[in-house]
Structure 1
Amino acid sequence: MNKTALVTGGASGLGFEFALLLAKDAHDLVLIDIDAEKLKEAKQTIESDFPVQVQVLTKDLSLSNVSEEIMAELNFRSIDVLINNAGFGLFGTFWETNWKREEQMLHLHIITTTHLTKLVLKDMVARGSGKILNLSSLAAFQPGPLMSLYYATKGYILSFSEAIACELKGTGVTVTALCPGPTKTSFQKVVANDSSENKISFNMACAKEVAVYGYKAMNKGKVYAIPGRFNKLLATLPRFMPRNSAANIVRKIQEKNRED
């Protein structure tokens, strides 16, 4: 029997690239996304190219109790690999941005990621095997003016992943936080939704390359992974300067991206 992998945000971008890598390694897939049409296309593409089964669930992952709803629809089947990939950003000064959209981001990045991890983890530990990959970001390593809540939630995902990875030592289960820099996906379009447009172009990475890097790191059981030498350097900068200086630098980068 094939192992089963669950990927949130699996219809496009990084999530779809992870799905392809998992299918290539003979994992049956559960793909979850809010976009029903793209989910259908992803299922057709994967099942035509690989001898695996793909189940798709159209879900808004920013809603309360969605994690329990997902597991119930899956009849609480065993999940061998969980990739918490779904997420979005919002650009603008905190007092001007849309609270409803921010609330959705907070629930998706923090509550859903945490709850879904908790629901699959007990079974993984009982079996003595399992892999979890949580999508954090280079943003996790410093404060982020003009994208304050996005940076803060990604910081949470990194800290949470590192902590439970430590707790899981010796269980056969691993947790990895992937911390990419800007990646060419639909993320930029979502960032601009309900806010001033932010055309991120600096240090842009390819989604496929980022997915391959993160997938290899997950399979090796690494606690966190930062693709790209320049990104690794950027992640260390806050250690060598005052935090307010790091915040000022991030703000200047964000403002420049907004102008470009």
Structure 2
Amino acid sequence: MKTALVTGAASGLGYELSLLLAKDAYKLILVDVNAENLTKCKLELETNFNAQVVTLVKDLSLPNVAQDIIDAINNVPIDILINNAGFGLFGTFAETNWERESAMLNLHIITTTHLTKLVLDGMVKRGSGKILNMSSLAAFQPGPLMSIYYASKGYMLSFSEAIANELKGTGVTVTALCPGPTKTLFQETVSENTCSNKIKFNMACPKEVALYGYKAMLKGKTYAIPGGFNKFLAALPRFMPRNTATSIVRKIQAKNRDH
């Protein structure tokens, strides 16, 4: 039985991706800081899919947590790694809280990169493996009022594309999933019919986003942008001055804050 490791697995896209892996009969190692939701997720997967599930309650923003995870699972071979955990922080950089920003940088960049490195060696030696890194539509331009978040997602896209190129011919693929705004509430509180109603313009359904990213990962695509409008937005900065693109993002962010 193949094994998949998912971070941020207790809710949102991590939860939906875990469902897809369980349906495909992967043994699951689920990591999240939310112990209560992680327990609920484990129970649901075991009950509905007869899945083998190991859970680890870890704060992924702490130093060296990637090594702690590998040690905790006794270096079991990982066939699929999904680096999904993350969070956002709104406000001007001069005013936002450094402790939260530091935690975000550790989570999005250090932990994700380190965990990828620790898992990658075994994948390359076995000649097979898939990694899905959660980037964002935010990766394609600077983001005033969410500067650290946008910059960290830009790092994740660039990092993923670079190592995907390095890994050509090894049997290992890396995919960066770059969704736009997604309604990521823990799915036990969301109706199964939610997705059929297309939640809102520019607000995607997590089930659809997860499935899109999952299929892209299985196909070995380097990056995946769910939704035609999001593809348009990702390309737009190429066709206008960078200052203009940045100003547009600033206006959008300010409008979102007002609402």
TM-score (normalizing by structure 2): 0.94
Structure 1 residue runs of 4 or more that deviate by more than 4 Å after TM superposition: none
- The residue number in structure 2 matching 1:198 is none
How far apart, CA to CA, are the structure 2 residues paired with 1:123 and 1:106? 26
Pairing 1:27–2:10 present: no
- The residue number in structure 2 matching 1:230 is 229
- The residue number in structure 2 matching 1:170 is 169
- The residue number in structure 2 matching 1:106 is 105
Pairing 1:182–2:181 present: yes
How far apart, CA to CA, are the structure 1 residues paired with 2:104 and 2:158? 18
Structure 1 position 51, deviation (Å): 2.5
Contact 1:202 1:257 in 2 (8 A): no
Contact 1:102 1:149 in 2 (8 A): yes
Structure 1 position 219, deviation (Å): 0.2
Amino acid at match of 2:177: L
Q: Specify every segment of 5 or more residues in structure 1 that has no aligned partner in the other structure, as ranges.
A: 188-200
How far apart, CA to CA, are the structure 2 residues paired with 1:49 and 1:125? 33
- The residue number in structure 1 matching 2:40 is 41
Secondary structure of 2:55 counterpart: strand
Secondary structure of 1:7 counterpart: strand
- The residue number in structure 1 matching 2:81 is 82
Structure 1 position 6, deviation (Å): 0.3
- The residue number in structure 1 matching 2:155 is 156
Return closer, same or farther for 1:253/1:202 CA change in 2, 3 Å cut-off. farther
Amino acid at match of 1:141: F
Contact 1:130 1:173 in 2 (8 A): yes
Amino acid at match of 1:204: M
Pairing 1:254–2:253 present: yes
- The residue number in structure 2 matching 1:119 is 118
- The residue number in structure 2 matching 1:196 is none
Deviations for 1:96-155, whole angstroms, at most 9, x for unmatched residues?
A: 000000000000000000000000000000000000000000000000000000000000
Amino acid at match of 2:134: L
How far apart, CA to CA, are the structure 1 residues paired with 2:129 and 2:71? 20
Deviations for 1:190-244, whole angstroms, at most 9, x for unmatched residues?
A: xxxxxxxxxxx76110011000000000000000000000000000011001111
How far apart, CA to CA, are the structure 1 residues paired with 2:101 and 2:230? 26
How far apart, CA to CA, are the structure 1 residues paired with 2:98 and 2:201? 28
Pairing 1:61–2:60 present: yes
- The residue number in structure 1 matching 2:11 is 12
Q: Specify every segment of 5 or more residues in structure 2 that has no aligned partner in the other structure, as ranges.
A: 187-199
Return closer, same or farther for 1:108/1:202 CA change in 2, 3 Å cut-off. farther
Amino acid at match of 2:211: V
How far apart, CA to CA, are the structure 1 residues paired with 2:84 and 2:72? 20
How far apart, CA to CA, are the structure 2 residues paired with 1:46 and 1:6? 14
- Percent identity reads 74
RMSD: 1.0
Structure 1 position 186, deviation (Å): 4.4
Amino acid at match of 2:65: V
Deviations for 1:143-171, whole angstroms, at most 9, x for unmatched residues?
A: 00000000000000000000000000000
Secondary structure of 2:10 counterpart: coil
Pairing 1:211–2:210 present: yes
Amino acid at match of 2:206: A
TM-score (normalizing by structure 1): 0.93
Return closer, same or farther for 1:146/1:186 CA change in 2, 3 Å cut-off. farther
Amino acid at match of 1:104: A
Contact 1:182 1:202 in 2 (8 A): no
Structure 1 position 258, deviation (Å): 1.0
Structure 1 position 92, deviation (Å): 0.3
How far apart, CA to CA, are the structure 1 residues paired with 2:66 and 2:137? 26
Secondary structure of 2:168 counterpart: coil
